[in-house]
Amino acid sequence: MPAPIFYLIPGLGADERIFRNLQPLLHGQVTVLQWFTPQPNEQIDAYARRMAEAIPPDQTCWVVGVSFGGTMALEICRMRPEARAVLISSIPDADCLPPLLRLIRATGIYKLVPPQLLKLFPRAGQWYFGIKNGEEYQLFREILRDMEPTYTRWAIHRLLHWDSAGVGRCLQILGSADRVFPPGPAPVDYLIKGGSHFMVLSHATQISQILNNLATNPDAAPLVRWD
């Protein structure tokens, strides 16, 4: 059996640093896809098409996306029929958008608040994303510092107005303590007990076990709760 191929997509505004605990644990070829500045009024499918250029059209692979990266993973897999999407701390379709984000979308408040404002209130972001003090908080502060406003505004708008009609199936890894995308009544393929929205860093060992197992047994998708 050939070595598995993973493409990792970080969350909104993040980069390869978010995978620094996960990437060394994955068995196979690993590539982190980077965000780039969107073109004016670029639709999400056009952006995904540009990002998908890094993936050969007929390549069998796993596209693993964190948060908004999960949305992009699903869009990429529309164009790459041999790729399978795995979502970490993300949602499988627009109907799963939680009430708080629906309210933000309905009020349009996200258009009035500059993304850079979060840089002034990192502790609020720390609570919302479930980030621990120490290494996690330091990385979070670095990500906030490096946020690119044009991309961030675009990504927030595309997430809130995502048309997921016809999106393919995926596997979802969600944390039981995720405040951004909290578990709902719908079943989750893998539920990690105590995992927050930042669990790709804090629970990298558990997530790597899931991904490595999927790579050797693609049809395995039990409901798992980790202590």
Please, what are the domains in the chain? 5-226 (3.40.50.1820)
Within a 13 Å sphere around the CA of 45, how many CA atoms are in the beta-carbon half? 8
2 CB-contact burial (10 Å; exposed 0-12 / middle 13-18 / buried 19+): exposed
- Rounded distance between C-alpha atoms, residue 174 and residue 194, angstroms: 10
Query: How far from 201 is each of 126, 137, 168, CA to CA, in Å?
Result: 14, 11, 27
Length of the chain: 227
160 CB-contact burial (10 Å; exposed 0-12 / middle 13-18 / buried 19+): middle
Which tens digits make up the pLDDT trace of 100-149?
899 989 998 888 777 666 666 788 888 999 999 998 999 999 988 888 88
pTM above 0.85, yes or no: yes
Residue 70 CA, distance from chain mean position: 4
Q: Which of the four pLDDT bands, split at 50, 70 and 90, describes residue 187?
A: confident
* pLDDT higher than threshold 70 for residue 224: no
Q: Please, are residues 116 and 149 in contact by the beta-carbon 8 Å criterion? A: yes
Handedness of CA 155, 182, 65, 204 (dihedral sign): positive
- Rounded distance between C-alpha atoms, residue 135 and residue 132, angstroms: 8
Mean pLDDT, the chain, integer: 90
| pLDDT value for 227 | 43
**Which residue has tokens 């708008």?**
157
For 71, the 3-state DSSP assignment is helix
Cross-strand bridge partners of residue 64: 8, 86
Which tens digits make up the pLDDT trace of 56-113?
999 999 999 999 999 999 999 999 999 999 999 999 999 999 998 999 899 988 887 7
